[in-house]
Chains A and B, each alone.
Chain A
């Protein structure tokens, strides 16, 4: 079988081979339960402590402010539900953007069935929320604002500094889902007013099964899981040492290489953009102010799933937000929120790259792509 060209880093990343030896030793040798008081358990406890310190250092926060979870989905669920239930005395109104990840969108739906009310902060045609709109949505009973840092479909970087300021002014908690931005662009928890932040290990070359929720000291939050009181009583369940240590090891690499990754991603983006400009009737959906490793692009008059499948036949993996590819045959809620014409939205694919993407991979992709677009257009009745 030919080697896959993986251009779906926004979905997940491979584990950096440099962290493999460390995490492998945790599987069979240092496998202890960090809650056990014998030496085997204490070793695991120490590993966990080191991991927490590493990540707290990276985020410039206190160790006690990091709650390890199983995934970004869990962290986002905890942020919304945990804040909602811990602050019932203050109100029951939450504001989220209308381009959040499904794990926020569906948590919103569930919270509404539980008597909470949720308002949407809507994005413009470029996919950005406007902080000015936020002030109009804030009510006396608003307890939480949740706006993602970087959108997973378009890469658009949201103005979280301004949103943080507004939330501080109105004394409302601010949560940001930083799953796509953590480790890629700087997040300064000392400068930006963020009360809660979600990040995930498997988007930054760490293993799947580890996420985190940063909870600023003093924030009132309820746990989702009750049990052995791990993670300062906020997230019970045996510590997944293997994944968490892997997470911190990947952060350790980022401390040195974040800038290198960023510059590399930027160069690739430039190269892809240049080439796309030569394919007629192509719309770049990602705005200028985007993370450099994601590009959402649409080829008019053809359909995204078909592009994806033909690329896949060539061993190239990308993603699409087209209606035909979704479970319920509805168009991506992000592109709909941007009010992108269906004719354009249907032909969209998301290409995302990262640390292990080679120039050869990109050349191969850019060689194959125009041919595929041309082929599918030759089948299409829309001209």
Chain B
């Protein structure tokens, strides 16, 4: 897999990784069976015009080079932005900022963006704020996809449990 220098830099020294205690919003996306799991934490405050801005943002990611690099990049892109500005971003903005990704890895940037969307949704919902229609639709779509994957792998996950327990014994 050929990654460019910028992607490797973000991968080797990712920005803003870790957890935010008492985060105002958390976005959890991805599925281990599919490869990547991302958690995005946001802390919100107000700017001088009284708009909600993303004051702090951190990520936790299980995934490949591209998943970690895109997580790092989205935290850079979203930090300091208003919620409206953040929601206007796209997955492709992350790819552009990283100077490109191997085509097969572009889905990682989509996942990073979805994590941000989910974190913002989580914040607005928790604080009983008005949720833009577009965001509602997006959230429902993501939840539905998540459900489909979980159902798809449910039987499999159950059948694996025994094996995992058995394999667990072999753990060093």
Contacts and interface: CB of A to CB of B under 8 A. Distances in A.
Interface of A: 125, 276-279, 281-284, 301-303, 305-306, 309-310, 313, 322-325, 327, 329, 339-344, 346, 378-382
Contacts of B65: 305-306, 309
22 contacts: A282-B172, A301-B62, A306-B11, A309-B8, A309-B65, A313-B12, A324-B35, A324-B36, A324-B66, A324-B67, A325-B1, A341-B160, A341-B167, A342-B33, A344-B164, A344-B167, A378-B17, A379-B17, A379-B60, A379-B62, A381-B39, A382-B32
Contacts of B68: 306, 379
Nearest to A300: B171
Contacts of A381: 28, 37-39, 60-62
Given A125-B163, A309-B8, A344-B164, 11 more contacts: A283-B170, A306-B63, A306-B64, A306-B65, A309-B1, A309-B3, A309-B11, A324-B35, A342-B32, A380-B37, A381-B61
Interface in B3-30: 3, 8, 11-12, 14, 17-18, 28
Interface string B139-172: 0000000000000000000001001101100111
B170 A380 contact: no
A333 B126 CA distance: 43
Contacts, number: 100
Contacts of A323: 34-35
By size class, the interface of chain B is: 35 or more
Contact of B62 (A125, A281, A302, A344): A302
B137 interface: no
Closest CB pairs A-B (n = 3): A324-B64, A381-B60, A305-B64
Most B CB atoms within 10 A — which of A276, A281, A282, A323?
A323
A127 B27 CA distance: 38
A346 B1 CA distance: 17
Contact of A279 (B12, B39, B172): B172
A279 B33 CA distance: 24
Nearest to A344: B167
A310 B167 contact: no
Contact of B35 (A284, A303, A379): A303
A379 B63 CA distance: 9
Nearest to B59: A379
